[in-house]
């Protein structure tokens, strides 16, 4: 094992190690956030689809009843 590095030399390695950890967590959270935003977009799309269908169902007249034969 090498002798202990001076603070200015060692600081670079310590900072690099902690930045690697931070970068990993940030990249993971960023990927998850993009997935979450995609889910949100899909929810909005589905909500619009359902609203559109409900509006179509309200606008169209109810089907006419077939006349019953008179005995």
Residues that bind another protein (CB under 8 A): 1-2, 4-7, 10-11, 13-14, 16-18, 20-21, 24-25, 28, 32, 35-36, 39, 42-43, 46, 49-50, 53
Between 4 and 59, name the residue whose CB sits nearer to another protein: 4
* Smallest gap from residue 34 Cβ to another protein (A): 10
C-alpha to C-alpha distance for 29 and 35, rounded to whole angstroms: 10
The two three-digit tokens of residue 62, written as one number: 């109810």
* Smallest gap from residue 3 Cβ to another protein (A): 9
26 Rama class: left (phi>0) / alpha (psi -120 to 50) / beta:
alpha
């Amino acid at each position: 094992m090498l002798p202990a590095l001076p603070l200015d030399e060692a600081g670079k390695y310590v900072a690099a190690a902690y930045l690697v950890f931070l970068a990993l967590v940030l990249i993971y959270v960023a990927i998850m956030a993009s997935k979450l935003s995609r889910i949100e977009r899909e929810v909005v799309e589905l909500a619009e689809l359902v609203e559109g269908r409900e509006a179509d169902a309200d606008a169209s007249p109810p089907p006419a009843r077939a006349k019953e034969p008179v005995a």
